[in-house]
Structure 1
Amino acid sequence: MSDHSPIFLELGRRYVIRKVRRFRFENTWLREKDCRSVVMHGWNTGVEGNVLGKIEKCGFELMKWGEVLQNSFQSRINEAKRKMRVYRGARDSLSVEEFRKAQDIYNQLLAQQEDFWRQRAKKFWLKGGDMNSKYFHTVASTRNIHNAISRLKATSGSWLTWENGLE
């Protein structure tokens, strides 16, 4: 007599596997002036009296805000570079002030980018302020590729990939 319950398996249907993104706090968010207001909004609109609900709501709000921020990050860098090109070489006080503002924004964005890749690389290689972000991008991307499952060996001995039934 078996104490196992039967499993009913329906084959033939393909299901779409949706990845659920886990919340991860990005250190670069701390350099953004809007971060505090996003957290306050999430906390104040969370479930009343339920701390876990409030934390979950804050995380959701931060993820939405962070995604918009990340999508606009490169365009913000390009805009700061463009402004610096426009005001470079000008000698009047207004142009010099605008150049300095653009330069400050550009330097802040580079520092944010450094924080981002420091967090991604999971190493402390950046301790001297090294700005070699291409290297750290490669390290983080390589780790991501290395950890991905691209195929599995079935009991029949054949290899299953995402294109032929790995789901």
Structure 2
Amino acid sequence: MGSDHCPFSVLLSHKQVLGPKPFYFESYWIDDEECHQIINFGWQKMVPGGPATNWVAKLDQCRRDLKLWSKTKYGSRKEQLLTLSKRLEEMQGNIDQPRYLIEAEAISKSIDDLWKIEEQWKQQSRINWLSAGDKDTKFFHLSTIQRRQKNIGK
């Protein structure tokens, strides 16, 4: 007699398919004049169609332009901070020469600006946590699920 069981195989690896990164307007962009120019340029474009189509097209164009601008201007803040810090360390040995002093001051100002941006970004996270923190909210449940998924991946 044969067995009534059927063999099967199970694939245990899980590939997480990531979609495009969602667009978020960053609060520190407001302090940058280029951001205002990009938005003004996007809204001045003439787009064929009705008012609703026109509004959606301009909004989409602004989103694309801001995303590209942010990527090129700010890129990875952590990488920029690391690069600028290394450059500043190299220059500190030659600080007695006037041209190095001016460049060191400019690099130091850039580092301060990047830290200010980083602090603004972290501040938003703190505000979200303080306002919705341990309450029985969708925010709390999503943050715990996200933390669990992150811990499983490690």
1:57, CA displacement in angstroms? 1.6
Give the count of matched residue pairs. 120
- Quick check: which one's helix share is greater? 2
Percent identity, aligned pairs only? 16
- The alpha-carbon distance between structure 1 residues 18 and 57, as it changes in their structure 2 partners (threshold 3 A), is same
4+ residue runs over 6 A deviation: none
Which one of the candidate residues 111, 122, 128 is aligned to 1:106?
111
1:117, CA displacement in angstroms? 1.1
Match of 2:64 in 1: 60
Q: Structure 1 residue 26 and structure 2 residue 26: aligned? A: yes
Q: TM-score, normalised by structure 1?
A: 0.54
Match of 1:132 in 2: none
Structure 2 regions of 5+ residues with no counterpart?
A: 1-15, 131-139, 150-154
Structure 2 counterpart of 1:106, one-letter code:
I
Provide the aligned C-alpha RMSD in A: 3.6
Q: Report the more deviating stretch, 103-112 or 83-92.
A: 83-92
* SS class of match (2:47): coil
* SS class of match (1:114): helix
Structure 1 regions of 5+ residues with no counterpart?
A: 1-15, 126-141, 152-167
Alignment of 1:32-71 (within 5 A): 32=32, 34-45=34-45, 47=47, 50-69=54-73, 71=75
d(CA) in 2 for partners of 1:70 and 1:94? 26
Q: TM-score, normalised by structure 2?
A: 0.58
1:61, CA displacement in angstroms? 2.0
d(CA) in 1 for partners of 2:127 and 2:45? 33
Q: Structure 1 residue 121 and structure 2 residue 121: aligned? A: no
d(CA) in 2 for partners of 1:91 and 1:78? 23
